[in-house]
Amino acid sequence: MLRLFETYLEGCPQLALQLYILLEHEQANFSQYAAIMVSCCAISWSTVDYQIALRKSLPDKNLLTGPCPKLIYLFYKLFTLLSWMLSIVLLLFLNIKIALFLLLFLWVLGILWAFKEDTQFCASQGMELLYRIVVGFILVFTFFNIKGQNTKCPMSCYYIVRVLATLGVLIVFWFYPLSIFNSDYFIPISVTIALTLLLGIIFLLIYYGTLHPNRSEETKMDEIDGKPVQSDCRMKYFLME
């Protein structure tokens, strides 16, 4: 969890700056592209690493094992992250205030969702509040399971909003008269955003449709011989890892 926090808090602003510099100069060398891809991979892998550790810590979850599911999950995170970061940078070129307002709005929504989930990761209320604020920041850039519970509906809503927001940014740039980019330069950018988003959604569907470890059936223990796992204390298993 701490590695996830560190990677997103440091890596996402750095990646946005790299993309902004790249698009501003309309020219780039191989090292710049390589640095951006390394940053995207590092940020995406931190989410994969968190997913592996989370499933290990929950007794009623199957483990995420094998290279194929991990790679598919990595590609899903990588492509959706790259598409969204490019969209944010384009919006920064259009209007910094609008871009910051959108990010702040999404941050608040993420914090509210963390409160709705009633996370219990920290021992004190103050640290739990800080934890939910950081969770909200990460949710601005990617979706991740914060309690090990079924998140099919929230994740679906999250990526529907992500697709609509990305399309909205592209539509604004296509129909609003801007002199920031010439058409020969903007067309590859918009194609990259749309293509990476599409690939990310495809890998998401592949992972959750065929490769996601199915939740093991909960066995009903005898009331005398055993005690059921307490569902309200899931995160304590995560802390023990």
Dihedrals φ, ψ of 224, to 5°?
-90, -40
Per-residue b/e over 63-78, b at no fewer than 16 CB within 10 Å?
ebeeeebbebbbbbbb
The pLDDT, as a whole number, for residue 141 is: 94
The pLDDT, as a whole number, for residue 80 is: 95
How far does CA 207 lie from the centroid of its chain?
15
pTM, to two decimals:
0.82
The pLDDT, as a whole number, for residue 71 is: 93
Between CA 89 and CA 164 the distance in angstroms is: 16
End-to-end CA distance of the chain: 11
Q: Which class for 167: exposed (0-12), middle (13-18), buried (19 or more C-beta within 10 A)? A: middle
Q: How many CB atoms lie within 10 A of CB 58?
A: 19
The pLDDT, as a whole number, for residue 217 is: 41
What token pair was written down for 107? 């941050």
What token pair was written down for 200? 């990310």
Q: Where are the domains of the chain?
A: 1-211
Between CA 142 and CA 30 the distance in angstroms is: 27
pLDDT along the chain (241 residues), means of 10: 88 90 75 87 91 79 82 94 93 87 93 88 87 93 81 89 92 71 74 94 91 52 38 44 42
Provide the residue count of the chain. 241
Between CA 22 and CA 29 the distance in angstroms is: 9
Angle 58-62-65 from CA coordinates, rounded to 5°:
115
Residue carrying the six token digits 């004190």:
124
